[in-house]
Amino acid sequence: MRRWDNRAWLGVLPVVLIVAFSAVVPLMTVVNYSVQDIFDLNNRLFVGFEWYRDTLRDPRFLEALLRQLGFSALVLAIEIPLGILVARNLPRRGASAGVWLVVLAIPLLIPWNVVGTIWQMFARPDIGLLGAGVNALGLDFNFTADPVDAWIVLLMMDVWHWTSLVALLAYAGLAAIPEPYYQAAELDGAGRWQVFRHVELPGLKPVLLIAGLLRLMDSLMIYTEPFVLTGGGPGSSTTFLSQHLTTMAVGQFDLGPAAAFSVLYFLVILLLCWLFYTAVMRSEDVEGGPGGH
Amino acid sequence: MGTEAKRRQPRWLLYGYCLYLALPIYWLATMALQSNQDIVGDLEIVPSRLTLANFAEIVGNPVWYSAFGHSLSYVILNTLISVTVALPAAYAFSRYRFVGDKHLFFWLLTNRMAPPAVFLLPFFQLYSAIGLFDTPLAVALAHCLFTVPLAVWILEGFMSGVPRSLDEMARIDGHGLGYFFFRLFLPNIRGGIAVTVFFCFMFSWVELLLARTLTGSETKPIVVVMTRTVSASGLDWGVLAAAGLLTILPGVAVVWFVRRDLVKGFALGRV
Amino acid sequence: MAWMAWTWPTAAFFLCVALALAVLTVLELKVPTVQRRGWLPLATTRGDRFFISLLAAAFVHVSWLAFLDAPVYWATGLAVLLGAGLMRWG
């Protein structure tokens, strides 16, 4: 067991200070902004919860929220199973393992706006391989004009971009399962599905918590890729929360409303991630470290 | 090995997935090697007229290559800061219990959850107020918001995988904490550090929103220069594609150099 | 600090949270908490219940502002009651 020793706080202190500087101070500032009407910093008016009320009753906020939740749910539903499948097929050892990892890691290392650019070039009906190819098949496909097409391209892009992360983490989880477990399952005559269900899935749980949480958090804050690819359009069909917020904050410089929007946005993410974290941690019944793994 | 081969599905899934990964990048590469007329002209799956003019444009233009330098400087700074502060914290989390440890851990994670868009306004004000605006340090510190919690999280996992008996042995042998930590403990988690460096580098290198907000004309990073090109000169597809292709290289270089440690790290399964 | 645009109500709010955290820390040192099951479908410590109370309070306010026009003080009262209940029996 880990020993009780409050001096361990000394080890954590640098992290606490740096995160307090880069997170707590700005977050308090956002809360301060959200209750005021700010013309400039010397000229501001306390308005209480007005901006919150406005935002919560603003159909654009609610639509962006719904779109966001739908997008995140779809992304998780595709990427987690696909990532596990890919990980199961990766070789465990040898030189080829390293090469596969590098190949898989490539999409993760591309700047997000470049990801958007790549997919724009790839999917455009005039110059893109995908867009022109699909049109050549006789289907009418244009993601800049049709909301459904835009969603399809966005989902394809996100799967392309992030499934590798799930795959890499799942690969790590699979590698940690001792070989005797498989042999025992084989002796019992377990089929492929049963091996997966009773040997691999339990072993994968801790890394799937990390993968799921990371994908949930990141998909909830997606901004750059759709900004480059679709610009939130056509219409506002791919405008997610971050995009809406950035337009308010930088485009229109509405400090108060943007801040209220930020606080609500953060609360939604906090609630979802806390529920996810608690649900998985509870089913796992924490052994050992604070991360539960 | 026999059982391992048996429980795999046919490899076609893996090859299919790699094809899916490769196609858009292949398309990017063909565009980078073509002139704009050829790009908007007839669609060719294998381009017939290749040119290096787009790359020459980037190499010859200081705006482009200095932007690469700016990006690398804050990414490296961020990775150094993150790993340095995360090591002792992860050690504390993995070896000791203390007041509020679980809540502190979750609180760190909440910072990883916070959307950068939420921090745009206050970060701009904060870094202007302390005079760091438009320096690599500002972006590096801002990126700590998500890299530090992640680094602590990953390292804690790896450290928990090192048996506690190692600590006990060092104590019995009379080694101080410093000697133990740097000479005995860290070599044991090399793989973990490689994985951490990989993730810190990755999340800092790929980020656009904060990097764009916190840099002015002095330290404009490559990701920002790229978005400007789109708006400034219409759609210069060729140069854009060439620049995009070049931004992939540093990441690939990093992952290539740490790949052995990565495999070891991932094989430990303590991510 | 001017750029942080402080107001009295927000300053008071953050002071209260900081104070509560300090009190919880001292309590933890004097009387260590025990994990237990109450209303909530999971075992919680004192700190967990405090976090859940804060989150619940936030969402009570959010739903109040979204659906009702009555003054928001009612929501605050409701949140305090709910929080006290959660701390005691949660």
The domain total for chain B is 1
Tell me how far apart the alpha carbons of residues A192 and A241 are, in angstroms, rounded to a whole number. Answer: 41
- Domain boundaries A60-284, corresponding CATH code: 1.10.3720.10
Q: Looking at the domain assignment, is residue B201 inside a domain?
A: yes
* pLDDT over 90 at B99, yes or no: no
List all residues of chain C from 20 to 39 with a beta carbon under 8 Å from chain B. Answer: 25, 28-29
Answer whether residue B83 is part of any domain.
yes
Question: Distance (Å, rounded) from C-alpha B148 to C-alpha B90?
Answer: 10
Q: Is B175 exposed, middle or buried (0-12, 13-18, 19+ CB in 10 A)?
A: middle
Better-scored residue on pLDDT, A66 or A7: A66
Q: What digits encode the pLDDT tens for the residues A116-166?
A: 989 988 998 888 888 888 888 888 888 888 899 999 999 999 999 999 989
Look at residue A107 in the predicted model and tell me its pLDDT: 92
Average pLDDT of the residues in B161-169: 84
CA angle in degrees (0–180, nearest 5) for B108-B111-B117: 175
pLDDT-derived band at A292 (thresholds 50, 70, 90) equals very low
Residue A59 CA: distances (Å) to CA of A236, A260, A271, B7, C65: 12, 15, 21, 51, 14
3-state secondary structure chain A: CCEECHHHHHHHHHHHHHHHHHHHHHHHHHHHHHCEEEEECCEEEECCCHHHHHHHCCHHHHHHHHHHHHHHHHHHHHHHHHHHHHHHHCCCCCHHHHHHHHHHHHHHHCCHHHHHHHHHHHHCCCCCHHHHHHHHCCCCCCCCCCHHHHHHHHHHHHHHHHHHHHHHHHHHHHHCCCHHHHHHHHHCCCCHHHHHHHHHHHHHHHHHHHHHHHHHHHHHCCCHHHHHHCCCCCCCCCCCHHHHHHHHHHHCCCHHHHHHHHHHHHHHHHHHHHHHHHHHHHHHCCCCCCCCC
Residue B11: inside a domain: no
Cα A273-A279-A281 angle, rounded to 5 deg: 95
The verdict on a CB contact (< 8 Å) between C10 and A32 is yes
Instruction: Name the percent of chain A lying above pLDDT 90.
Output: 26
Q: Which has the minimum average pLDDT: A242-256, B112-126, B159-173, B222-236?
A: B222-236
> Is the minimum CB–CB distance between C61 and chain A shorter than 8 Å?
yes
Q: Using CB atoms, which chains have 3+ pairs under 8 A with C?
A: A, B
Please report, rounded to a whole number, the percentage of residues in chain C having pLDDT higher than 90.
46
Which of A52, A65, A261, A268 to mutate: most C Cβ within 10 Å? A52
Query: Could you tell me the CA-to-CA distances from A64 to A229, A244, B116 in Å, in that order?
Result: 17, 8, 17
Looking at CA atoms only, how far is residue A41 from chain B in angstroms? 11
Set of chain A residues whose Cβ sits within 8 Å of the Cβ of C68: none
Best of C8, C10, C63, C69 to disrupt the A interface (most A CBs within 10 Å) is: C10
Q: Which residues of B6-25 are buried (b: 16+ CB within 10 A; e: fewer)?
A: ebeeeeeebeebeeebeebb
Q: Sign of dihedral through CA atoms A272, A273, A276, A277?
A: negative
Q: How many CB atoms lie within 10 A of CB A103?
A: 17
Residue B26 in any domain: the answer is no
Over C33-58, what HEC string results? CCCECCCCCCCECHHHHHHHHHHHHH
Measured distance CA(A84)–CA(A171) in Å, rounded: 8
pLDDT value, residue C57: 94
Query: Angle C73-89/C46-67 helices, nearest 10 degrees?
Result: 150
pLDDT at A70 over 50: yes
* Cβ-Cβ contacts under 8 Å, C59 against chain A: 267, 271
Residue B59 maps to a domain = yes
Higher pLDDT, B233 or A140: A140
Q: Are A41 and B129 in contact (CB under 8 A)?
A: no
Q: Which residue from B101, B114, B202 is facing A109, i.e. has the nearest CB? A: B202
CATH number, residue B202: 1.10.3720.10
CA distance C3 to chain B (A): 6
For residue B1, name the pLDDT band (cuts at 50, 70, 90). Answer: very low
* Residue A78, token pair as written in the block: 């595709």
ipTM attached to this prediction: 0.91
Comparing A270-279, B28-37, B60-69, B233-242, the range with the smallest average pLDDT is B233-242
Q: Which of residues 185-214 of B touch A (CB under 8 A)?
A: 198, 201-202, 205-209, 213
- Whether residues A36 and C13 touch (CB distance < 8 A) is answered with no
Nearest CB to B266 within list A9, A172, A246 = A172
Average pLDDT over residues A54-80: 93
Which band of pLDDT confidence, cut at 50, 70 and 90, is reported for residue A79? very high
Quote the pLDDT of residue A286: 44
pLDDT digits (tens, 9 = 90+) for B24-63: 999 999 988 988 778 777 777 888 888 888 888 888 888 8
Within a domain: B237: yes
- % of chain A beyond a pLDDT of 70: 95
Query: Sorting pLDDT into bands at 50, 70 and 90, what band is B10?
Result: low
Q: Nearest CA of chain C to the CA of A246: how many Å?
A: 20
What do you get for the CA distance between the two ends of chain C, in Å?
A: 39
C55/A278 Cβ within 8 A: no
Q: Do C3 and B128 touch (CB under 8 A)?
A: yes
Most confident of B43-47, B55-59, B223-227, C50-54: C50-54
Judged against a pLDDT cut of 80, whether residue B202 lies above it is answered with yes
Task: Give A281 to chain C, closest Cα distance, Å.
Answer: 10
Which pLDDT score, from 0 to 100, does residue A162 have?
A: 94
B33 in a structural domain? no
Query: Residue B32 falls within a domain, yes or no?
Result: no
Q: Are C62 and A52 a contacting pair at CB < 8 A?
A: yes
For residue C28, give the nearest of B99, B106, B128 by CB distance. B99
Domain assignment of residue B152, given as a range: 55-268
